[in-house]
Structure 1
Amino acid sequence: MPRDSTVLALQRAFYSTALWLAQPLLRLRLARRARLEPGYAEAVEERFGDYGARPARVAGPGELLWVHAVSLGETRAAGVLLEAVRRTLPGVRILLTHGTATGRAQGRSLLQPGDQQAWLPWDTPAAVRRFFDHFQPRMGILMETEVWPNLVHEAAARGIPLALANARLNARSYARAQALGRLARAAYGGLRAVWAQTEADAERLRRLGAPVEGVFGNLKFDAAPDPGLLQRGALWRARWGRPVVMLASSREGEEAAFLKHFRRLAGEKWSSDAPENEVTPLLVPRHPQRFDAVEALAEGLGLKVQRRSHWGEAGPPRASDHAGIVCVGDSLGEMPLYYAWADVALLGGSFEPLGGQNLIEAAASGCPLILGPHTFNFAEAAEEAIAAGAALRVADMAEGVAAGLSLLQQADRRAAMSERARAFAQQHRGAAERTAEAVGRLWETAVARAPRRGDR
């Protein structure tokens, strides 16, 4: 046992030193990102544990429920959870932390009076200590995958319970965690509770020593698409009058492959003057810093580009000649609109070995979906969607584009897939209430164990 403790201490020291030495590189990276996304220039010193310029604390020590949602997807899941938690713990004050600019921007809409928002610091011991010294949360909830060794170690040392909610761990991430040995096991084992999405996630987490207390499902199934966006997308579809095939939440490399095969396979359907034959490709990049690059890619191929940011609520303008037009969805928070506008969608991130983006929003919006070969981020949901008849699996982008164009000629099949997709999404709801109840129990335990105000 002493030897194990010594090895763990050495591993943590090596890890912490490596992160400390990498801080200048992190600052350079943030500066580069800020040129494309100004949100990365906001409150940079918070990333290094300096919160001194923030307003005076509006909540007393031990009164904050801290929720960490690193990026946009986790923040949306956190929003679903917080809605249920506020019913379970009326009046609770929230500290919401993030790691990306899109997550932070989305998180602002979740705040209520008395809540706070900040960047989670880089996982060095000094920065983590300053974070806990400043905010003094009563307990913390980490969303999905955000387990950091120094963060968990410091919380445990302070008696602050940390839970991992909506937890997922795919086979690749599990292998990487195993490679970290005792450092990873200490981090996962230092959590107070883990609530997994699936039994497969739970099993991998248990192998790393995580205290899995339940398999509650995926919170993202409880996020209902904005009805206003769905209605607007349906109006756009009727106004546009041409079928639309979308590449949804696309990643680098996928747009070029999509356009290559679309041009080859759509052929006359894309260039024909007959409105009933024209097909419009719609590209919606996953990351906003790539909007300009995707436009440049299409224009470099000699295509005419129309961008969402140039339209009002009425949608894309009517054009006398739709031949060769590519539409680019360069907005955030409007995926239900794009899914409602499209006749069929290909799931981004699944045509490169990236694990696929969230397919749940497409299903809830009733959009027929085509999945590439790489969906390990949502492996169980992908297989269940295919089994339910809500999605199709293809081998590569060429087959995906061909399947999308084929579905345009099968109105009855598309309608059936749309209904099955909505039913699939509806059947998997309920994770939010289950997780909120578990949060409430852990919160009450933390309250009972906390020292009384006069004893501090």
Structure 2
Amino acid sequence: MPSRAPKGLVLRAYLAASPLIALAGPVILRRRLARGKEDPARMDEKRGYASAPRPEGRLIWLHAVGLGEVLALRGLISAMAQHDPALQFLITSSARSSAQVIGANLPPRTQHQYLPLDAPTYLARFLDHWRPDLSVWAEQELWPGAVVAAHARGIPLALVNARMTDAGFNRRVRAGGLYGDLLARFARITAQDTRSADHLTALGASGVQVTGSLKSAAPPLAADPATLAQAQAAVQGRKVWVAASTHAGDEAQAVAAQAALWQVDPQWLLILAPRDAGRAGVVASQLTEARLPFARRSLGRVPSAGDAVWLADTYGEMGLWYRLASAALIGGGFDAVGGHNPWEAAHFNAAILHGPDTANFLNDYKALHDEVAAVSVPFGKLAEALQDTDLPDIGLRAGQIVHRAAGALDPLAAELLALVRR
């Protein structure tokens, strides 16, 4: 029961100080708005004011922080909706980029809102309006005020797809019992792997289940049909590959590879999609320096026959880029980032290539490599890897894996729905 939930010294101190967040909130939000990190039309959501009505019926509220984590929730929503077609869903996130992408990929009967800042007055507004019947948190971010407020109202809590590295565990241990107090409020906790489950248990969680990653079971990303037809016409006859969710190290490898390929055969076309579209100016300068002609998506251009690169400096269109490409370099592998989600590309039978660093997706890439469905590319070998005649078969095998994963969420969906308030 909520009254028996533990409140150690650190959690009590946090909750006592949390009203100050509302005092600083307007200043914080204005500064973020000035840096382009907030949506001016929806900034009041960060203070708990809803911008959409609550639908009738039972509502499942799901929260994730990162772009990949938010998109992964779609598979779980689909599985729960199959169990109960009358359910309504609310996804919350914090980052503007995640809202832009999920907006183009929302499942049926699903809305998106920004999670309010963790202040009591903001959270009360949010919960008074939405009145969720279940609260599902994904991966590793827990907002203490929101968790405690939901639990105090008798809203069942679940943590799914949890992933915790050794470094993340050490940071939470130093929080002096805060996470143990929060985890005690969750009725169901699932982890991606045994190591994460062990970390959660050591922090105070009980009954943690290992269910694997949600990402491989998420449905394909969407693409606007008219935009797709226009893009397909523009790249017809080209040898198209995509470098997706890239960082600086990935871009250096991709640009060098495309320069080598294009010099030999101008039919090669690279679609370069930086993880942060705000870095497009820097990337554009690198392309100019490499003497690679390019079309910039944010300016409404499609590539001409003389362009070597399509700079995909927009959000929410990865479903379009993956549909055009026969191979995909998944970013984060040539930087100290730990890699990014390979499963989005796998849906479209794109051959998956990645750099050496996959620390954040070790189990995902192991599953792919076990079935020869991905290629690990050493530094300086990307152009060579892209010319491998086995790539089409590698892409097909990756597609088969995600097809099998689609039904794997059914048991988890059933367990979560058993928690829903009646």
1:20/1:345 CA distance change after superposition, 3 Å: same
Match of 1:407 in 2: 385
Once the 2 structures are TM-superposed, how far is the Cα of residue 304 of structure 1 from its aligned partner?
1.7
Pick aligned residue for 1:86 from 75, 81, 92: 81
Once the 2 structures are TM-superposed, how far is the Cα of residue 112 of structure 1 from its aligned partner?
5.3
Q: Are residues 1:378 and 2:377 paired? A: no
Pick aligned residue for 1:8 from 7, 10, 13: 10
Q: Trace 1:439-454 onto structure 2 (pairs within 5 A).
A: 439-443=416-420, 446-447=421-422
Q: Deviations over 1:14-56 (max 9, x none)?
A: 873785676466324421343xx7x6212212212344xx566
Q: Trace 1:19-418 onto structure 2 (pairs within 5 A).
A: 23=25, 26-34=28-36, 40-51=39-50, 54=51, 57-59=54-56, 63-108=58-103, 110=106, 117-225=112-220, 236=232, 239-252=235-248, 254-256=250-252, 258-259=254-255, 261-262=256-257, 266-267=259-260, 269-272=261-264, 275=266, 279-309=268-298, 316-319=303-306, 325-395=308-378, 399=379, 401-402=380-381, 404-411=382-389, 413-418=390-395
1:14/1:281 CA distance change after superposition, 3 Å: farther
Counting aligned pairs with the same residue, the percent is 30
In the alignment, the residues of structure 1 paired with residue 98 and residue 377 of structure 2 have an alpha-carbon distance, to the nearest angstrom, of: 31
In the alignment, the residues of structure 2 paired with residue 111 and residue 415 of structure 1 have an alpha-carbon distance, to the nearest angstrom, of: 30
Q: Are residues 1:428 and 2:405 paired? A: yes
In the alignment, the residues of structure 2 paired with residue 200 and residue 316 of structure 1 have an alpha-carbon distance, to the nearest angstrom, of: 45
Once the 2 structures are TM-superposed, how far is the Cα of residue 360 of structure 1 from its aligned partner?
1.0
Q: Deviations over 1:82-122 (max 9, x none)?
A: 22212212312333322122333444453656x65422111
Matched position secondary structure for 1:438: helix
Contact 2:66-2:95 within 8 A present in 1 as well? yes
1:352/1:409 CA distance change after superposition, 3 Å: closer
1:9/1:358 CA distance change after superposition, 3 Å: closer
Once the 2 structures are TM-superposed, how far is the Cα of residue 356 of structure 1 from its aligned partner?
1.4
What amino acid does structure 1 have at the position aligned with 2:411? Answer: R
Once the 2 structures are TM-superposed, how far is the Cα of residue 348 of structure 1 from its aligned partner?
0.8
1:120/1:5 CA distance change after superposition, 3 Å: closer
Match of 2:3 in 1: none
Moved runs in structure 1, 4+ residues, more than 6 A?
227-231
Query: Greater share of helix residues, 1 or 2?
Result: 1
Once the 2 structures are TM-superposed, how far is the Cα of residue 327 of structure 1 from its aligned partner?
2.0
Once the 2 structures are TM-superposed, how far is the Cα of residue 353 of structure 1 from its aligned partner?
1.6
RMSD: 3.5
Match of 1:451 in 2: none
Contact 2:101-2:317 within 8 A present in 1 as well? no
1:29/1:351 CA distance change after superposition, 3 Å: farther
Matched position secondary structure for 1:110: coil
Bigger Cα Rg? 1
Q: Deviations over 1:368-401 (max 9, x none)?
A: 2222232222121112222321222345xxx2x4
Once the 2 structures are TM-superposed, how far is the Cα of residue 358 of structure 1 from its aligned partner?
0.7
Give the TM-score of the pair, scaled to structure 1. 0.78
1:137/1:242 CA distance change after superposition, 3 Å: closer
Give the TM-score of the pair, scaled to structure 2. 0.84
Once the 2 structures are TM-superposed, how far is the Cα of residue 250 of structure 1 from its aligned partner?
0.8
What amino acid does structure 2 have at the position aligned with 1:317? Answer: S
